[in-house]
Amino acid sequence: MTLPVPESAPAVEIWAWSGCPSHEAAGEQVAAVLGELGLDVPVGLRWVETDDEAERLRFVGSPTVVVDGRDVLPPPPETPPSLTCRIYRRRDGRISPLPDPDDLREALSGALGAHAH
């Protein structure tokens, strides 16, 4: 069962760079987690294609999952903004182009908690 989205629903986006192919899988992963959380929230896609844009947005690689303009899985503070493929560390220690599903679920639940019913 999905619940209607209130007018004040946050913007959920995947920020992506065209040089990395994992944005589609990230979008599917985010949609699946939102479904598990019972949230009917649209997921947008925002392309980041210039160094200036990456700097302004503090974009640290593709894909980045964002709620209301904030990275829900922020990297270490020393990570420089850049047009690159993002690497996530899974809970079991593996390196992956996508976040660990449990980390993503916790992050989205926390970021969207006020919107869950």
* Confidence (pLDDT) at 82: 95
Report the C-alpha gap between 22 and 105 in whole angstroms: 18
Cβ distance 98 to 89 under 8 Å?
A: no
Q: What is the pLDDT of residue 40?
A: 86
Angle of the 101-112 helix axis to the 23-36 helix axis, nearest 10: 60
Domains of the chain: 12-115 (3.40.30)
What pTM, to 2 d.p., does this model score?
0.86
Q: What does the pLDDT read at residue 113?
A: 79
* H or E element in which residue 103 lies: helix 101-112
Q: Give the per-residue pLDDT at 29.
A: 96
Residue 53, token pair as written in the block: 């844009």
Report the C-alpha dihedral over residues 84, 63, 75, 93, rounded to 10 degrees: -100
What pLDDT, on a 0 to 100 scale, did the predictor assign at position 1? 47
pLDDT of residue 48: 97
Mean pLDDT by 10 residues, the chain (117 residues): 52 95 96 92 95 96 95 94 96 96 95 67
Q: Tokens 């904030």 label which residue? A: 70
Q: Residue 5: what pLDDT?
A: 46
